[in-house]
């Protein structure tokens, strides 16, 4: 998949405004110190099984988490990592609430950059220098001879990895391989007859089901926390190929790489990320489905790396305005804003303006579902695509390429607002301008009204309206005249193409 970074959706804006969306992983004790608070065993009291129940309701009691912990706790390990890093980049590792710049200013303070420049490029320090850092995470044993699963970000750039068991034995670990796309890493320690966790299936997991996490938050080993699954198949705006399991289990820095158990004591996920304003748990945590993690583990053990498939399209979210423009019954699917020339999608016949609605029969609801599905496929694999094109359903077959050949990105469109006329001043491209742009279309000399509110700018090249290429102003007028609520403008800006939905009435 090829994507282009454009205006973020509301979800991305919400996450950026919140401050931190990232790994719940290694706590770098060289820069911050955890307070004496931890995610210890949480007593979750459901309604008593013997309590009177009203008509139409069912009594639900919390599972006995103590049995799961006693049975599987010994297979959960603490991972300590150490390495070297540039002193000037330390601030990037800590949450925004914990970072401080020159004169004690927060990096978001308007005077931060002024004082930083006044003190010199390194904040008054004599120059960039390497300094040792240490971090901690979690993992779990999946084979008795010492194979361990954890997060890729826990061991990223680590020079030394130590694994500590619950019986206090410590082992030097070798990183067999890691996959940043899925945030899965596989370690190996030289040991035998180790306790292992039983593996379950994340496919059978249900929203609302009880789950349990064991890990080392803030370095406090084998801490237990529990909660419920709050969503499945969650796509996050981090160029990831993972359909995350969302839970309300308390996960904190140091929990990363630890197992997420179901009530049968089976691992169904790897705790990986948290959504937080402070860097600590605030009610949302995300786990990698164990089915995906096992698939990546098998590839790493066999070849030392994981491979992912590539379709070769730039996509964006379908909001209600775009759905109206393309006459879709629901704002679902992945809108194709660009097709890589000669890529798998191009060879399969995909076109700009197609809306991909299903892959091998599996529905694409949010655009992020597409890279998650494609990324889990193998290069060379054939997939059946159901697309919506010019108001009709079509079916195409594509042979997927290798994602390592071209990096995938995700383009996301802004929500359009406003009513009335389109608000564009257009003119044909001059021959020199057309050669420079490399596309056919009309130059947008000025944008106002609904188009400007939707994000269209002077200098953009208008290529198509509602998926129909336009080379004259009359073609634009005719396309707009056929639309009642909104139009989808395909524009090119700085070499990137994206559909911009514009409400016109």
Determine the Cα angle at 54 with ends 53 and 55, to 5°: 125
Phi, psi of 402 (to 5 degrees): -105, 125
The tokens describing 219, both together, are 């370095």
Q: Among candidates 278, 360, 365, which has minimal Cα distance to 318?
A: 365
**356 with 336: CB under 8 angstroms?**
yes
Among 310, 301, 318, CA closest to 344: 310
| Dist. CA 485–CA 209, nearest whole Å | 42
Q: Which of 256, 272, 276, 486 is catalytic?
A: 256
- d(CA 80, CA 219) in angstroms, rounded, equals 9
Active site residue 82: no
Taking only Cα atoms into account, the Rg of the chain, rounded to an integer number of angstroms, comes to 26
Q: Tokens standing for 471?
A: 């080379």
Are the C-beta atoms of 5 and 495 separated by less than 8 Å? no
Backbone angles phi, psi at 96, to 5 degrees: -55, -35
Catalytically annotated residue among 153, 178, 240, 291: 153
Contact between 218 and 36 (Cβ < 8 Å):
no
Residues constituting the chain: 505
Q: Is 308 a catalytic residue?
A: no
285 is known as an active-site residue: no
Q: How far apart are CA 314 and CA 372, in angstroms?
A: 14
Q: Which residues are catalytic?
A: 153, 183, 256
């Amino acid at each position: 998949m090829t994507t282009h970074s454009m205006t973020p959706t509301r979800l991305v804006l919400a996450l950026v405004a919140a401050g931190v969306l990232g790994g719940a992983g290694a706590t770098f004790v060289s820069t911050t110190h955890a307070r004496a608070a931890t995610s210890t065993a949480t007593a979750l009291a459901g309604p008593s099984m013997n309590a009177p129940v009203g008509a139409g309701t069912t009594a639900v009691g919390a599972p006995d988490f103590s049995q799961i912990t006693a049975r599987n706790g010994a297979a959960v390990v603490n991972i300590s990592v150490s390495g070297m890093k540039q002193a000037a980049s330390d601030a990037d590792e800590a949450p925004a609430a914990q970072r401080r710049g020159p004169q004690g200013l927060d990096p978001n303070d308007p005077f931060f950059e002024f004082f930083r420049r006044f003190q010199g490029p390194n904040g008054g320090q004599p120059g960039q220098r390497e300094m040792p850092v240490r971090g901690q995470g979690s993992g779990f044993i999946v084979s008795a001879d010492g194979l361990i699963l954890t997060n890729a970000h826990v061991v990223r750039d680590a020079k030394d990895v130590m694994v500590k068991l619950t019986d206090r034995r410590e082992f030097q670990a070798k990183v067999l391989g890691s996959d940043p796309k899925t945030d899965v890493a596989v370690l190996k320690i030289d040991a035998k007859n180790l306790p292992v966790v039983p593996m379950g299936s994340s496919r059978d997991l249900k929203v609302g089901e009880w789950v349990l996490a064991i890990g080392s938050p803030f370095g406090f080993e084998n801490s237990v926390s529990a909660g419920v699954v709050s969503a499945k198949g969650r796509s996050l705006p981090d160029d990831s190929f993972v359909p995350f399991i969302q839970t309300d289990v308390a996960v904190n820095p140091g929990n990363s790489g630890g197992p997420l158990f179901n009530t049968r004591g089976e691992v169904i996920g790897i705790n990986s990320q948290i959504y937080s304003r402070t860097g600590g748990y605030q009610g949302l945590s995300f786990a990698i489905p164990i089915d995906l993690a096992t698939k990546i583990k098998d590839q790493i053990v066999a070849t030392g790396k994981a491979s992912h498939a590539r379709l070769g399209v730039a996509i964006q979210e379908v909001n209600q305005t775009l759905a109206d423009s393309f006459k879709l019954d629901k704002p679902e699917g992945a809108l194709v804003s660009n097709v890589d020339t000669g890529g798998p999608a191009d060879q399969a016949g995909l076109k700009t303006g197609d809306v991909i609605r299903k892959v091998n029969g599996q529905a694409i609801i949010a655009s992020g579902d597409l890279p998650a599905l494609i990324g889990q496929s193998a290069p060379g694999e054939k997939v059946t695509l159901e697309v919506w094109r010019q108001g009709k359903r079509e079916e195409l077959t594509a042979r997927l390429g290798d994602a390592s050949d071209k990096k995938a990105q995700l383009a996301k469109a802004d929500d359009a607002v406003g009513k009335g006329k389109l608000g564009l001043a257009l003119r044909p491209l001059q021959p020199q301008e057309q050669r420079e742009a490399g596309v056919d279309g009309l130059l947008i000399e000025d944008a106002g009204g609904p188009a400007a509110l939707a994000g269209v700018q002077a200098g953009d090249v208008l290529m198509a309206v509602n998926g129909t290429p336009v080379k004259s102003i009359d073609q634009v007028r005719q396309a707009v005249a056929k639309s009642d609520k909104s139009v989808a403008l395909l524009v090119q800006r700085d070499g990137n193409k994206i559909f911009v939905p514009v409400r016109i009435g």
